[in-house]
Amino acid sequence: MGRIDFLLSIVYLLLFPGFLFLFAFSLFAEYLDRKIYARIQRRVGPPFLQPFADLVKLSAKEDIVPEKAEHFMFTAAPIIGLAAIFAAFLYLPIVSTTGLHSFNGDLVVVLYLLTIPTLAMFLGGWYSGNVFGQKGGMRVASLLFSYEIPFFLALLTPALLQGSWKMADITRFEAAHPLEFIVSLLGFFIGLIALQGKLERLPFDIPEAETEIVAGPLVEYSGRRLALFRLARDAEMVVGAGLIAVVFLAGPEPILPLEPVYLSWLVAALVFLLKTLFVIFLLILLKSAVARIRTDQMISFAYQWLIPLTLVQIFIAIIVRFFGGI
Amino acid sequence: MAHVKLPIGPQHPALKEPENFTITLDGERVVDVDIRIGYTHRGIEKLMETRTYTQNLYLVERICGICSYAHVENFTQNVEEILGLQIPKRAEYIRTLFLELERLHSHFLWLGVAGHEIGFDTLFMYTWQDREVVQDLLEMISGNRVNYAMNAIGGVRRDVSQEHRKKVLEGMDYLEKRAEFYKNIALNEKTILARAQNVGILKPQVALRLAAVGPTARASGISVDIRKDDPYASYLDTPFEVITTDTNDVLGRVVVRVLEIVESIKIIRYLMEHLPEGDILKKAPRKVPEGESISHTEAPRGEDFHYLHSNGTEKPERYKVRTPTLANLPATAEMLKGTYLADVPIIVAAIDPCMGCMDRVLILKNGQEKPGELISGEKLRRYGIKWYAERGWDA
């Protein structure tokens, strides 16, 4: 038994639903992002394999480290960012009620791991030795709290309703009580908006605003390192959307007890995929309907609207809990 | 934090053409702006002295890719004035039609560029698709999408048929609906308002002092429009209104341009319904007698000013062009001070800059601008020969 468990873990980790799956899903998500965005704008959009082709081509390109850049940090930043996201993905429940590991508090670990790519962006920009990169890095760091606090608090709501920090418990509870989604609807939308900020997408793509500071932290990156950063960005979108799908939309639940076991795994993975894609679709819609706002506007938006609304949502959750739950 | 100098340009995604705005930043605030031009001077004025008037028709058109027709209209008006040539009424109407179609496509293009500068790419794609309608109409009548080669000295080269009139009117119906749609977006979309309202303030007295022109001035409540102030072509016959707003900001410049689209559509409808019968071209002599003339037109970006000095031959002695962008640059420097870095691209874009058209030669000494100095043409020629010889580029 021990050996089979070990082998299964390896398959889980490397192939499905581990790294290879995340890699493919991230590129697919980027394809969808670009294609739907293009169709909304009445453009044709890229062919299916374009994100993969971009990645391969970028990896083959000359990779330059500027003289003024700090070599070690400049190289480490994209790797750390990507590693943190891949690690976070392993904790999401995809094929069954649990991820690779499940323990009380795994939700907090995932949230924490999802903060690291932001830090990697800041460090990469700061150590690139370019004035645009440093400006972008400063923007990344100064915006961190404006979306991180609402994101944490919004994802706290379902945990409060259920009384557990374990994602497996939250999804099980939600599958049993569909009404719970309505109670946490406000939190769902706040989570979406905050995730958009976390992913630095419109209207919050302030750190890499092309027309202002060229590409912000990424301005000096090229070749393999840029490819890693871009892959990290796609994977972050998938994991972030997946996390929202798990916490608010019950992730892979309801899991059907099918025979043989792997069939039920596949169905669960499909349910998870559809829910994640739904969240990504909402993110794309938001992106295509707005202009970029300014740093000061984003901070005041976060503190005047997002955070108070999140507190309202938490208050609702506590009241509902107090009067005997759903 | 110490002040940071950020070079916007000569190569920067916000600028479509190479000019340099060195911005001194305190955090995200702009403390000072230093505009340096001269990166894309093309020497068209000098080149014109070596071409005949007919050849110059085509050269003048290539000063600008967007308001090409305003330039060629100025040139023909100048030559016709010295020749004392009165062009046929029908030709005047057709010229006005082209001036207004050009304004339409320029304003649609600008709306898209402005959207892009604030990251609203969906608006960018939408407006540029609608702009295609105007471009198709221009191509249908003149055979060209950008440089129409429509004018000749003494009239226009192609006539507008009944079929054309019908198509133009259909196109106007479609564009009117779209203009209404964009007006709604500009006035109601929250993120656009956040980025355009109270941004790039230009007070009326400052606009007057710095001699701002075109939509930039009209958004500060100054009613300047050459079409009304000094009517040319058939603007005297055509009823239309000068659009102004008093918000003094980028949003005002958006609103002025969108409403001007609506006005242009009205003008085009009027022209198509009242197009007089008759000739479209009068024969003009090849040689132009000695004389001087100025002409100005209201290009989509503002007042476009041309000066011609002829010497009795078939080539001009001196030709001088001042495009609206040059007139608006001092005002831009004023608008940029005290704003956020994030607002710099949209403020610069709001004057609808066309750098290549306005550029001047700038002589630098040790990286510093030299104080003004007059050089004779002969001295400049020798300087040029020496400059190339020093670098071994001369044959």
* B13 reaches A (C-beta below 8 A): yes
Tell me, yes or no, whether A201 lies in a domain.
yes
| pLDDT score at B99 | 92
Per-residue pLDDT of chain A (326 residues; tens, 9 = 90+): 577 778 877 877 777 777 888 899 999 999 999 999 999 998 999 999 999 999 999 999 888 888 888 888 888 899 999 999 988 888 888 877 777 777 888 888 889 999 999 889 899 888 888 888 888 888 888 888 888 889 988 988 888 888 888 888 888 888 888 777 888 888 899 999 999 988 888 788 888 877 777 888 888 888 888 999 899 999 999 999 999 998 888 877 777 777 777 787 888 888 888 999 999 999 999 988 888 888 888 888 889 988 999 999 888 888 888 787 65
All residues of chain B having their beta carbon less than 8 Å from the beta carbon of residue A285 are none
Tell me, yes or no, whether A232 lies in a domain.
yes
Out of B123, B195, B345, whose CB is closest to A293?
B195
All residues of chain A having their beta carbon less than 8 Å from the beta carbon of residue B115 are 291
- Rounded Cα distance between A45 and A61, Å, is 24
Tell me, yes or no, whether B193 lies in a domain.
yes
pLDDT band at B67 (very low <50, low <70, confident <90, very high): confident
Tell me, yes or no, whether A44 lies in a domain.
no
All residues of chain B having their beta carbon less than 8 Å from the beta carbon of residue A295 are 28, 340, 342
| pLDDT score at B371 | 67
Domain that holds residue A70: 63-322
Q: Please give the mean pLDDT across all residues of chain B.
A: 87
All residues of chain B having their beta carbon less than 8 Å from the beta carbon of residue A205 are 119
Average pLDDT (B80-92) is 91
Tell me, yes or no, whether A25 lies in a domain.
no
Report the domain count for chain B: 1
Tell me, yes or no, whether A47 lies in a domain.
no
Average pLDDT (B291-319) is 90
- Rounded Cα distance between B10 and A73, Å, is 30
Alpha carbon of A87: minimum distance to chain B alpha carbons (Å) = 32
Selection from A311, A247, A313 nearest residue A279 by Cα: A247
Which segments of B84-161 does DSSP mark as H helices, in order? 89-117, 121-142
Tell me, yes or no, whether B248 lies in a domain.
yes
| pLDDT score at B286 | 87
pLDDT at B358 over 80: yes
Task: Compare B27 and B292 and report the one with higher pLDDT.
Answer: B292
Instruction: Tell which B residues from 343 to 362 touch A, by Cβ distance under 8 Å.
Output: 343-345
Tell me, yes or no, whether B346 lies in a domain.
yes
All residues of chain B having their beta carbon less than 8 Å from the beta carbon of residue A296 are 28, 340
Per-residue pLDDT tens for B111-136?
Answer: 999 888 888 888 899 999 999 999 99
Question: Which of A294, A295, A297, A304 to mutate to test binding with chain B, by most B CBs within 10 Å of its CB?
Answer: A294
Tell me, yes or no, whether B21 lies in a domain.
no
- Nearest residue of chain A to residue B6 (CA atoms): A131
How many contacts, defined by CB atoms under 8 Å, are there between A and B?
81
pLDDT at B277 over 70: yes
CATH number, domain at B286?
Answer: 1.10.645.10
- Nearest residue of chain A to residue B199 (CA atoms): A294
Tell me, yes or no, whether A165 lies in a domain.
yes
| pLDDT score at A97 | 73
Question: Which of B29, B184, B188, B195 to mutate to test binding with chain A, by most A CBs within 10 Å of its CB?
Answer: B195
pLDDT at B49 over 90: no
Contact (CB<8Å) B340/A296: yes
For tokens 């932001």, the residue is: A118
Q: What percent of chain B has pLDDT over 90?
A: 33
Domain that holds residue B82: 44-358
| pLDDT score at A325 | 61
| pLDDT score at A289 | 87
* B28 reaches A (C-beta below 8 A): yes
| pLDDT score at B367 | 64
ipTM of predicted assembly, 2 dp: 0.80
- Rounded Cα distance between A268 and A263, Å, is 9
Three-state secondary structure call for residue B7: strand
Out of B121, B192, B345, whose CB is closest to A41?
B121
Cα–Cα–Cα angle for B37, B39, B40, rounded to 5 degrees: 110
How many Cα atoms within 13 Å fall on the side-chain side of residue B233? 31
* B189 reaches A (C-beta below 8 A): yes
pLDDT at B97 over 60: yes
Tell me, yes or no, whether A26 lies in a domain.
no
Contact (CB<8Å) A202/B125: no
Selection from B66, B86, B67 nearest residue B76 by Cα: B86
E strand intervals along chain B: 4-8, 20-26, 29-36, 151-152, 155-156, 291-299, 302-310, 316-322, 364-365, 368-369
* B125 reaches A (C-beta below 8 A): yes
pLDDT at B365 over 80: no
| pLDDT score at A239 | 92
A188: left (phi over 0), alpha (psi -120 to 50) or beta: alpha
Out of A41, A289, A295, whose CB is closest to B125?
A41
Contact (CB<8Å) B126/A203: no
Run of H or E including A286: helix A261-288
| pLDDT score at B78 | 92
All residues of chain B having their beta carbon less than 8 Å from the beta carbon of residue A136 are none
All residues of chain A having their beta carbon less than 8 Å from the beta carbon of residue B348 are none
Selection from A30, A309, A325, A315 nearest residue A151 by Cα: A309
- Nearest residue of chain B to residue A209 (CA atoms): B119
> Which chain A residues have any C-beta within 8 angstroms of a chain B C-beta?
40-43, 131-132, 135, 202-203, 205-206, 209-214, 288-297
Report the domain count for chain A: 1
Out of A206, A211, A291, whose CB is closest to B13?
A211
Question: Which of A292, A296, A299 to mutate to test binding with chain B, by most B CBs within 10 Å of its CB?
Answer: A292
Query: Hey, what amino acid is at B211?
Result: A
Question: Which of B15, B21, B28, B336 to mutate to test binding with chain A, by most A CBs within 10 Å of its CB?
Answer: B28
Three-state secondary structure call for residue B30: strand
